[in-house]
Amino acid sequence: MNLIPPDTTLSGTPKTRSSRAATKAQEAALPAAPAPGVASVSQLSAKLTEYLTASELKKVKEAYRFSDEMHLGQVRKSGEPYISHPIAVAEICADWKLDAQAIMAALLHDVMEDQDVKKDELIERFGAPVASLVDGLSKLEKIEFQTLIEAQAENFRKMLLAMASDVRVILIKLADRLHNMRTLEHMTPAKKRRIASETMEVYVPIAHRLGLNNIYRELQDLAFSHLYPVRYRTLSKAVKAARGNRREVVKKILESVKNTLAIAELPAEVYGREKTLYGIYKKMRSKHLSFSQVLDVYGFRVVVDSFANCYVALGTLHGLYKPMPGKFKDYIAIRKLNGYQSLHTTLIGPYGTPVEFQIRTQEMHRTAESGVAAHWLYKNGESNLSDLQQKTHAWLQSLLDIQQQTGDSAEFLEHVKVDLFPDSVYVFTPKSKIIALPRGATALDFAYTIHTGIGDHTVSVKINNEAASLRTELRNGDIVEIVTNPDSKPSPTWLAFVRTGKARSAIRHHLRTINLNESVELGRELLAQALTALNIQPDLPEPTVEKLLNESSAKSMDELYADIGIGKRMAALVARHIFGLVDDDLVSLPANPHATPGELDPVTIYGSEGVSVQLAPCCLPIPGDQIIGQLRRDQGLIVHTSDCASAKRLRGKEPDRWISVQWGGELNRRFDCRIRLLINNEKGILARVAAEIGESDANISYVGMDEDEEHVMTQLRFTIQIKDRVHLAHLIRNLRRVVGVTRVERERN
């Protein structure tokens, strides 16, 4: 059965359509001859006929006709009829053998966004499942966003959440992005770079996470070609030249491997493969190599008939060529997060050239190339899910968990992008369950991966049965045990070292909700100071408050104050917004429209505020230091010393987030401070130093030491608790008098 009847125009539109003028306009816009690679209705029809039933084909045909009608007269930048794009997307989906609903959604994916078709109309014509897929794929262009970044973030949030309920959404979206990238040459250079950058940052990692390696590699190369066109062309020429130079080597290896496997009576398919241009470029950048130094541009894949024969083939190849030490990876025993399974080994081939081999079964090969597209989450019940499906399902569900704990779309996208990096480490629970985490993940990330409640109440950790810090980075094979306490709560300092999106969103959620009162008070004080600087009375009348809440999307003034207190909104910007809303009688003096955050009255710091006001761990300010405050998103006010190197570096990036602060008069607490001593390596010196610190009325909270190679001098590092700068000066004078102490100084970042 043909999808499209023979009596059609070049665009696929029936000739009997009543709108003749529109048809002529569309035909006039067509190129004289179809460009190479232009989507073909007949090709799509042939692919669908292979696996869809007659009734399903009829529904797809209806979706095609509706899409063609909606896009009539619309053309792409290349001059092709716009309908060629939905057909191309549907054709990519047909290669994955997606079901009729997904093909219909692919054909209709732009009608809501471009032609203002309502979801209700799609439900009535094609059913709720198809309408939901199209809705998940449509951008939110009717909503006004403050910035392009915010709009993009909200679009991604909606798409990823739709994907969490039905993975077909992201598969169609990836097909859409792939075709757009294939036809990107007609865009302006600026738009090419923006779309290519977005593809590399978000869509490439998603394709990798879902195991769609063919799409992953093609998107990478396409994005690379538009981000760095000169590098791409140069590298492409070098690879073409290398093909001729290395053809004999590749042929010799291929013949040797096939003969060796045949002698061992191992049925196998062997074929060479070439690294992608982006893969070669990435290796050159990361290892600082020239192209001529990248020897493994070519690799080989061995596909065998059974699981056991993977290891037999490995042994056979190791007998043919010598393996390189440390270059063997068993992704069959411990598969990657995206379900990928293969044995990887690098051998020393002819002429001393390193050659990589991947060994896998046919089933592993299908999963490696098509990933989750080969295993439908929506066809079977959860009880029938394969291991790959369960892992993908768990990751999709984690998106919903992050969404529930995230304040806004930009933050949600930030967390998700963190989890999309492909490099992973594999660690074990005490009961030998394997947990996969992003490379660089810490013991605290492990706790939050197990359960949010465990992460929130973590107090300590054991790694390989030895006590370790919560910030310890995990390595492959570590056995991790978490110790919890019901009274323990997340600390804002945890945000400085956790790696996973789930951990970051959970900690931020806790800080937002548990410390709300403190954030509200800080926000109220900051806004009052900003209003005073603009000569506006801080007590706003009810009509002004109502206008402000309507325009700021906050539900109450306390919510607005809390947002300011945790750094989500800037007090100075809110004050300027209020300035445009207030009546003249609320402004006591002529306003200064050029007032900046630095001109506001300083915020008074007493050192015991808690979570919404924190002393920066990089410089550990103490009373008497000149200080400055940084409003950080979801962390509140961070107080630095004025000469802190980190603060100086950060002020150049976000100057509007810095405010003046000062110490209060009554400070009834002690403050951490780091000091460093250089001492002679002699008997009893540590005891004398510790005793002097105690006699100077200071407490020791940490001590560390580093010896020189000749064991003559030792550097001692203390974290001590003191009252203020005067107390510190007194302590340093006393320590300098201790026999054996050569130098004493306050340690800076």
DSSP codes of every residue in 564-627: HHTTSS-HHHHHHHHHTTS-GGGB-S---TT--GGGSPPEEE-S---SSEEE-TTT---TTS-E
Q: Given CA atoms 520, 526, 529, 535 in this order, what sign does their dihedral have? A: negative
Active site residue 525: no
List Cβ neighbours of 50 (8 Å cut-off, separation of 6 or more): none
Q: Which of 62, 114, 221, 369 is catalytic?
A: 114
682 is catalytic: no
Q: For the chain, what is the largest distance between any 2 Cα atoms, rounded to a whole number of angstroms? A: 104
Using the predicted structure, report yes or no on whether residue 646 has a pLDDT greater than 60: yes
Of the candidates 693, 725, 711, 520, the residue with the CA atom closest to the CA atom of residue 623 = 725
Question: With pLDDT > 90 as the criterion, what percentage of the chain qualifies?
Answer: 14
User: Which residue type, as a one-letter code, is found at position 617?
Assistant: P
**Active-site residue, from 56, 69, 113, 558:** 113
Structure token digits, residue 186: 């007609």
Measured distance CA(741)–CA(749) in Å, rounded:
22
Q: Which residues contact 272 (CB under 8 A, 6 or more apart)?
A: 250, 253, 254, 298, 299, 300, 301
Taking 90 as the threshold, does the pLDDT of residue 730 lie above it? Answer: yes
Q: For 109-126, write each residue's pLDDT tens digit.
A: 888 877 778 888 899 999
Q: How far apart are CA 175 and CA 108, in angstroms?
A: 13
Q: Are 295 and 350 in contact (CB under 8 A)?
A: no
Structure tokens at 701: 């909270």
* DSSP string over 365-412: HHHHHHGGGGS-TTTS-GGG--HHHHHHHHHHHHHHHHHHH-SSHHHH
What tens digit of pLDDT does each residue of 465-500 get? 888 888 888 887 788 999 998 888 887 778 778 888
Helix (H) or strand (E) holding 130: helix 128-137
Residue 380's pLDDT is 40
- pLDDT at residue 17, rounded to an integer: 34
Q: pLDDT grade, residue 245 (50/70/90)?
A: low
Question: Does the pLDDT at position 424 exceed 70?
Answer: no
**Confidence band, pLDDT 50/70/90 cuts, at residue 444:** very high
* Predicted local confidence at residue 612, as pLDDT: 60
Q: Which pLDDT does position 105 carry in this prediction? A: 92
Q: Where are the alpha helices (DSSP H) in 406-464?
A: 409-419, 443-450, 452-456
